[in-house]
Structure 1
Amino acid sequence: MPSSCQETGSTQFLLFKIALRSLDLDTAKRCLDKVCNGPNKDIAILYSCALEAQSMGNKDIILKVLSQLLEQADTTTPPEGANLPAIYRTMIRLILSDIQENKTVESGILDTLYSIFQKALNNAVKSKTASEAAADGTLKSMWSTDEYDWFSRNSYNLALRALQHWPPQYALHFSQLCVQLRNYGDARKSIISFREIREKLHPRLTEQSQKDFGERYLGLLSHEFEACVHLEVWDALPRIVEEVAKFGQLQPLRRIGDMILCADAPTATFLLVLENLINHCLRIEKHKIDKIARWIRVLLQKSLQGDLDRAERLVYQILDICQRRAVKHTFC
Structure 2
Amino acid sequence: MKKIKQLSINGYKTLSGQDYDIKLSYEVFGRQLVEAPIILVNHALTGNSNVCGLNGWWSDLIGPNKCIDTNYYCVLAFNVPGNGYDNSNNIITENYKGFVARDIAKLFSIGLDLLNIDTLFAIIGGSVGGGIAWELATLRPKLAQHLIPIASDWKSTDWLISNCYIQDLILNHSNNPIADARIHAMTLYRTPESLAHKFNRSKKTSESEIFNVESWLNHHGNTLEKRFNLSAYKMMNHILKTIDITRNRMSFSDVASKIRSNIHIITINSDLFFKPEENWTTYVDLKSKKENVWIHEIKSIHGHDAFLIEFDQLQRFLNPIFSEIKTVNAPLSEVHKCA
**TM-score when scaled to structure 2?**
0.28
> Higher helix proportion, which one?
1
Bigger Cα Rg: 1
**TM-score when scaled to structure 1?**
0.28
Of structures 1 and 2, the one with the larger relative CO (CA 8 A, separation 6+) is 2
> Higher strand proportion, which one?
2
